[in-house]
Amino acid sequence: MSDNGFFDNYGGKYVAEVLRRPLDELEVAFKNAMQDKEFLNELEVIRRDYIGRETPLYFAKTATEILGGAQIYIKLEGLANTGAHKINNAIGQCLLAKRMGKKRIIAETGAGQHGLATAAACAKLGLDCTIYMGEVDVRRQQPNVASMELYGAKVHPVTSGSRTLKDAVNEAMRDWASNPDTTHYVLGSALGPSPFPDIVREFQSVIGREVKKQAEERGIKIGAMVACVGGGSNSIGFFEPFINEKTPRLIGAEAGGIGPGVGENASRMTGNASRDGILQGYKSRFLLDEDGQALPTRSISAGLDYCGIGPQLAALGKSGRVEFTSILDKDALEAVKFFARNEGILFALESAHAGAAAIKIAREIPKDQAVIINMSGRGDKDVFITSPVFRPEQWLEFLKHEVTRLEGGTDIHDAK
C-alpha cells in the first residue's frame, strides 16, 4: 500500500480540483470493499467461474533443457477469459463501481486490450460502457474495436492531440470530471493519480498470490520472476507478494523497440531519455524532452508502448528491488517463435518481452531454482502484426483476397 498515495518520491494525486472528490470517494469505497466479505466472495466466484482462475503454473520442460540453466516455468495468465491479465482489474473495478451505485463505466484504451476487458466485464455485470480510444488507434486496431462493440460497448474515437493513448486518457478524465456521480473511470494500469496504483495492484496481485501458493505446494524454489512492463499492472501484481522479501530476483522487461535512440523504444527505466516528471496526474519516470513534454515511443507490442511507468515500479527500480532490462522487438519476436515451437504456447508480443528476458538470464540462475515468466497474454490477437513479419507474401495475398471478396469479387468458395 502507498503512503498517502506516494511510493517514496513517486505517485501522488496531481489533478484538477474537480477530480479530487471522485478520487477521494473512490479511495474510501475501495478500502471499505476490501474489508467486506460479501464483496470479496462475489469477486472470488467471478474469478473462478468467469475469468477461469486459478491460471496454471506450467513447467516448460523442453525450454528448460534447451536453455540449460534454471527450470523455466510459465504462469499462463493468457488463459484468463478475454486472453490476458487485464480482466482481473476490469472485473474488480466494475464490481467496485456497482457497489458504489454507479451504472456507467468509462475507460481509456490504446491497443484495445483494456477496452476489450472492460467491455466484457460491463457486459457480464450489466453496466453501460464507453471506451475512449485515439482515432489513430481505432483505425489500427479494428479487430479489438469490433470485439468491444460485440460486447455492447460504445467506442468513442478521440480526435485531440496525437490521437493515441495519452489523449484517450485525457478525454476519459474530462468525462469523469463532468459525470462523477453516475460514472466510474476504470483506469487500465497501475498508474495515474492515487488511489489507482493501489487499486490496480490489489486486483492484479491475485496473479502473484497464486504463484506463491502453487510454488509452495510443488516445492519450487524461485530464483527469479520476470514480467513485461507497460504501465506496470501485470508485473506489479505478479511481484506483489515478494516485494518485501529479499528473494527472488524480480525483473521487469521494457520495450527496447528498434534501438536506444529517442523515439525508438519505450524504455522508461533503462532508456537515455528517462526523466522524473509529472504527467496525467502522477509523478513517476517518463520519457520526456527537456521541456518536460512526452516523447514519442516505439514498440512492436502495442501494450508496452507508453511513455510512463507506474509510480510503485519507478520507486522499486530506484531502490533496486526490481531490476529492469530492455528487450528489442526482434528478440521478442524470436521468443514468440521459441515458446510456440518448443512448448506449444503462443505468447502475446508484450509477454514475449518477459520470455526473451528469461531466455537471457536462464543460465545465471542455478539449475535447482526456477525462473517464472508471467505470460500476461496469449498471442492470438497479434496475428495481424506477426504475420506480416513471419510470412509477409502469404499475408499480403490473404489481405488482397479478403478485400476482393468483400468488394463483391470472386470468393474462394465460388471458384469452380
Ligand X SMILES: *Cc1c(COP(=O)(O)O)cnc(C)c1O
Q: List residues binding ligand X (CB under 6 A).
A: 84, 86, 113, 189, 228-235, 303-304, 348, 350-351, 376-377
408 Rama class: left (phi>0) / alpha (psi -120 to 50) / beta: left
Grid cell of 212 as nine digits = 506463491
Integer Cα distance of 100 and 24 in angstroms:
13
Closest CA to 371 of 42, 47, 57, 136: 57
84 or 294: CB nearest ligand X: 84
Q: How distant is the alpha carbon of residue 351 from its chain centre? A: 9
Please identify, using beta-carbon distances, which residue of 69 and 379 lies nearer to ligand X: 379
d(CA 271, CA 93): 32
Q: How far is CA 183 from the centre of its chain?
A: 23
- CA atoms of 91 and 67, how far apart (whole Å): 37
Question: Is residue 376 flagged as an active site residue?
Answer: yes
Using the structure block, give the residue that is written with the C-alpha cell 464490481.
Answer: 95
Task: From the candidates 54, 108, 202, 240, give the one annotated as an active-site residue.
Answer: 108
Is the preceding omega at residue 195 within 30 degrees of 0, hence cis?
yes
Q: Which of 13, 75, 86, 124 is catalytic?
A: 86
Question: Nearer Cβ to ligand X, position 70 or 354?
Answer: 354
The catalytically annotated residue of 2, 189, 274, 376 is 376
310: helix, coil or strand? Answer: coil
Q: Are strands 104-109 and 183-185 parallel, antiparallel or unpaired?
A: parallel
Active site residue 210: no
Amino acid at position 136, single letter: V
Residue 68 grid coordinates: 540449460
Q: Residue 148 CB, nearest distance to ligand X (Å)?
A: 14
Nearer Cβ to ligand X, position 314 or 348?
348
Nearest distance in Å: CB 307, ligand X = 13
Q: Which is nearer to ligand X, 130 or 234 (CB)?
A: 234
Q: Which is nearer to ligand X, 19 or 304 (CB)?
A: 304
The answer to whether 39 and 33 have CB atoms below 8 angstroms apart is yes
Q: Least distance from C-beta 22 to ligand X, angstroms?
A: 22
Give the type of residue at 342.
N
Which residue of the chain is nearest ligand X when measured via CB? 377
The least CB distance from residue 379 to ligand X, in Å, is 9
Phi, psi of 172 (to 5 degrees): -65, -40
Q: How far is the CB of 406 from ligand X (least distance, A)?
A: 28
| Residues identified as active-site | 86, 108, 376
